[in-house]
Structure 1
Amino acid sequence: MQFDSITRRTWLAAAAAGSLPSIGWGQGAAWPTKPIRFVVPFAPGGSSEIVARSTAVELGKGLGQTVYVENKPGGSGNIAMADVAHADDQHTVILGHIGTLAVNPFMYDKLPYDPIKDFRPITLLAKVPSLYVVHPDVPAKNLKEFIALVRSKPGQLNFGSAGNGSAGHLAMEYLKAAANLFIVHVPYRGTGPQLTDLLAGRLDAASVGAPAILQFIKAGKLRCLATGSKQRLAQLPDVPTVAEQGFPNFEMTQWYGLMAPSSLAQTYADRLAVEAAKAIRSQAAKERLEGDAAEAIGNTPAQFAQFIAQEQARWKPVITRARIKPD
């Protein structure tokens, strides 16, 4: 499924004007009238769940209803996205992601959902720096040594990811292109299963969102070679960025945002946007995210729509060049 510039401009204009598709029922009634189902399209154990749970508690306070997180992995996030795209109960939302919104449209010939027509962008919740790590048995202490090692053994080392087109996969493909590396990709069904094999030494390397692996780095179970952030992380002050190690302007961050089905009534979507932005910017959520090196954002629907369009334009050539295909 391809999206041209005219379609993106139409979507952005609609988001800015508050005229994305809606249904006309119940817009004068109190909302929500029951718990909100917050779907995470990936397996437990990754950055996505940390961001979702950090948001859910505070969002529930603002909405006056419980917001419960439901993990629904599979199909690079497509299964959950298709489910939520067709939800019409007015109480289902989903965690949007770099993969489901900016990668899958160019990786799959056909999707069971349309990321533009089937969803309303609500707010960009958080950005998470990607960390480039290896198992301690890998004889590389920094990115320069790792690149030299991979080049000396082309195709003999591997890296894992949460699946084809996942943020971790993109991060490594981005590094591979920048450093001209040949390293084998091993896709998993989620960050959790991937980390199990990485920690056990069955994988050599990976790029994973900071919240999911900081504890393992600090415990010495993984070695962090570089961060994908613009600046060094306060949690890892001795670990240089990729940019510092010979690749100027290199930046790789995962991102997560709140999306609602396009069938959600406009009035409800407006309230959800306000409360979600407040939730992620609350002191409790920010402290939780900052402890895991994640940056809380909380912007407007129009700003989030613009951001998604920019990310689609950024990643389309990467997907094409790397010939990334579905599992």
Structure 2
Amino acid sequence: MKSMLGVRGVVMMVALFAFAATAAWSQQPMEKATAKTAPHDYPTKSIRLIDPFQSGGGSWVVARLIGQKLFEIWGQSVVVDNRGGASGAIGSELAARATPDGYTLLMATASTMVTNPLLSKVPFDPVKDFAPVVYTTLIPLIVVVHPAVPAKSVKELVSLARSQPGKLNYASAGGGTISHLAGELFKATAGVSMLHVPYKGGGPAIIELVGGQVQLQFGNMLIALPHVKTGRLRGLAVTGARRTSVIPDMPTVSEAGVAGYEVVQWHGVLAPAGTPREIIIKLNREINSILSLTEVRARLLSGGAEPHGGTPEQFGDHIKKDIAKWARVIKDAGIPPN
């Protein structure tokens, strides 16, 4: 049995906040129906929270945690439905086309709403097709390498990449995701050449990195940090503007030698456009209360994630500003479309 589990089993066992598997949901009709839910009765049945990546990634961790807490509050199950593919576009479209009644939600990320739509043609509008609910978490990425990679700092990684142009490879959660953009921005800023290896989510990517199939990753801290702590991966730097309290001795990429480099990931809940305002407000209120719980804050902060919260309007403004910011970064860095 141990031999069958291998690296994949080890990785999934250390994923934060693992919960029991839930039954799969059937494919929803692509045409959006009229919402029939009476907002004051909401919720009266199970809620589907779509995570548009394969299980095991950072969005999966946050979705499971919030879903469990909503169940404890309402007594209605929240099923996290992993619909990976097309760098989050498949699951995101499924959510966008769902009935706007509050029973299908999306665990959105900067990858699905910002970077992928900027680099690829996606079948939805990240602003017009969704109603913002709440900005849940802000998290820097972490530059992690397999222990076999002979680089113990960002400067050594840059030197290694320059000495072997195009030979180092880095994993991402998929083309157009924030982890892909982090790698491309690193290449452009540091002046190095590395090979991009896309996966269908951060979970599969980290599994392959731990197994030695790829050499490095700009990974979500929620899933990468446990492997740094156990020595399965080596952390070199975090990608935010400042150091993180969970690993205060680890420098930022910018202070470690690649000046001006900054990339952060975020997660948040969206509903299909047209969802009743009363339902949006109710979801926002409950998830904000969840994010303020000492237990939840401790779990997220221990993984390097910063609980956020706020109003639906603040989240919507953040998405629009992030789209404008990354459009400039992509243009200035000369990052090609997918």
For the aligned pair, the TM-score class normalised by the smaller chain equals 0.7 to 0.9
Is the aligned partner of 1:38 residue 2:49?
yes
Aligned length: 303
CA distance in 1: counterparts of 2:119 and 2:172, whole angstroms: 16
**Match of 1:302, SS?**
helix
Match of 1:250 in 2: 261
Residues 97 and 257 in structure 1, CA contact (< 8 A), matched pair in contact too: yes
What letter matches 1:323 in structure 2?
P
1:98 aligns with 2:88: no
**Residue identity opposite 2:87 in structure 1:** S
* Greater mean alpha carbon deviation, residues 259-268 or residues 276-285: 276-285
1:150 corresponds to which residue? 161
Question: Residue 285 of structure 2 aligns with which residue?
Answer: 274
In the alignment, the residues of structure 2 paired with residue 68 and residue 277 of structure 1 have an alpha-carbon distance, to the nearest angstrom, of 19
User: Which range moved further: 186-195 or 255-264?
Assistant: 186-195
For structure 1, which runs of at least 5 residues remain unmatched after alignment?
1-21
> Hey, what does 1:8 align to over in structure 2?
none
- What is the RMSD computed on CA atoms of the aligned residues? 1.8
- Checking the alignment, whether the CA contact within 8 Å between 2:115 and 2:178 is kept in structure 1 is no
What residue is the counterpart of 1:196 in the other structure?
207
The letter for the 2-side match of 1:161 is: S
State the match for 1:264 in structure 2.
275
Match status 1:286 vs 2:297: yes
Q: Is the 8 A contact 2:39 2:279 kept in 1?
A: no
Q: Distance in 2 between matches of 1:57 and 1:284?
A: 13
- Distance in 1 of aligned mates of 2:73 and 2:163: 55
The 5-angstrom pairing of residues 162-311 of structure 1 reads: 162-311=173-322
Normalization by structure 2: what TM-score? 0.85
| Paired residue secondary structure (1:322) | coil
Which runs of 5 or more structure 2 residues have no equivalent in the other structure? 1-32
| Cα shift at 1:28 | 5.4
* Paired residue type of 2:304: A
Q: Does 1:129 align with 2:125?
A: no
Higher relative contact order (CA 8 A, sep 6+): 1
Amino acid at match of 1:226: A
Aligned-partner residue type, residue 92 of structure 1: T
Task: Name the structure 1 match of 2:25.
Answer: none
- Deviation of 1:83 after TM superposition, in Å, equals 1.0
- Please tell me whether residue 317 in structure 1 is matched to residue 332 in structure 2: no
| Contact map agreement 2:120 2:176 (CA 8 A) in 1 | no
Q: 2:64 aligns with which of 53, 60, 69?
A: 53
| Deviation digits for residues 172-191 of structure 1 (CA, Å, limit 9, x no counterpart) | 11211211111110111222
Q: Which secondary structure state, in structure 2, belongs to the residue aligned with residue 243 of structure 1?
A: coil
